[in-house]
A = this chain, B = another copy of it.
């Protein structure tokens, strides 16, 4: 606490002005280079001198100015992240991912810089600007679409970046993704092990890379469990949201040979399915197995608590930052793709 008092203003050293190398050098009666050495390569400095300088540093509350350091290092130690959102409806995964990314970046001495493209300028320009002005050292991208212009542009310019998620783009680049196919397949396996034989899937409309892979997981899972060819009638699709879950489950339960369990492409869909099941007097968990995707914060609080597929976001963050810093450092290994495995969190709904 006492230390804090001197960080910004000190009655002794002039209000408002943060101490610089020069102040420390003067106080310790050494050159400023020696101060710099004490901070950056202490082993090069004589222990006695070092102690004297360190005392001055502590006394003045000196902290090296980041901008001056960065200017000389020609690096900002900042990573740009274009925050999605606005009209897009808000990805429920966002805050967990952002948190994990921020944490991972800090461990490597980086910070995240958030930005949004304004309406007039396009996405690419926003990124270009940040690079040209030296504001960031690289980017983390998410929600890329087929043939994403950011990916090709950054790739051509040799700007370091790593993508969260895979998309078919005919340019090599580094990405980290979570294997949704395996995740759904393991949910199916789990339900099969619980004795379910007719297992349905409620997913998103065809055409999204992420959604299609999750649907594939359903097929894979059924086949692997020896439940034979998947019944197309048990695969229902709709826009993400509880309404799709509710309508789809209503539809499924009205079938001549209804499913006894359902895997969904998102917790939001599962919430709707849970609600529809209650309406029809079907008890989720006992009579009907339900599995969600993403293990959102509400999952444990639903009735019954929802079994869900959890993305290892902390690991995603660390991996992304690791790949990115390697590229920033110039060690540009071949573009790398890393596929991480999600984890099934079993609760009472299955």
Contact = CB atoms under 8 A, between A and B. Distances in A.
Nearest to A154: B8
22 contacts: A4-B153, A7-B128, A63-B129, A63-B133, A66-B134, A66-B135, A71-B71, A78-B113, A83-B102, A85-B95, A90-B96, A94-B94, A94-B95, A103-B116, A111-B135, A113-B113, A114-B114, A241-B298, A242-B301, A242-B303, A246-B303, A268-B301
B67 A76 contact: yes
A91 interface: yes
Given A9-B157, A83-B95, A113-B114, 4 more contacts: A83-B99, A85-B99, A268-B298, A275-B303
B132 A116 contact: no
Interface in A271-330: 271-272, 274-275, 278-279, 296-298, 301-303
Interface in A92-106: 92, 94-96, 98-99, 102-103, 106
A243 B128 contact: no
A243 B297 CA distance: 13
A121 to B, nearest CB: 11
What is the count of identical protomers in the complex? 2
A65 B118 contact: no
A205 interface: no
A171 to B, nearest CB: 15
Contact of A67 (B70, B96, B128): B70
Given A4-B153, A94-B95, A298 B128 contact: no
A141 to B, nearest CB: 16
Contact of A114 (B92, B98, B129, B296): B98
B302 A242 contact: yes
Interface of A: 4, 7-9, 16, 18, 61, 63-68, 70-71, 76, 78, 83-86, 89-92, 94-96, 98-99, 102-103, 106, 111-116, 118, 124-125, 128-129, 131-135, 153, 157-159, 239, 241-244, 246, 268, 271-272, 274-275, 278-279, 296-298, 301-303
B67 A71 contact: yes
Contacts of A86: 99, 103
Contact of A279 (B7, B85, B132, B279): B279
A95 B268 CA distance: 17
B134 A243 contact: no
A272 to B, nearest CB: 7
B8 A158 contact: yes
Contacts of A242: 271, 298, 301-303
Nearest to A124: B4
Contact of A96 (B85, B111, B113): B85
Contacts of A239: 301
Nearest to A97: B85
Contacts of A61: 132
Contacts of A134: 18, 65-67
A115 B111 CA distance: 7
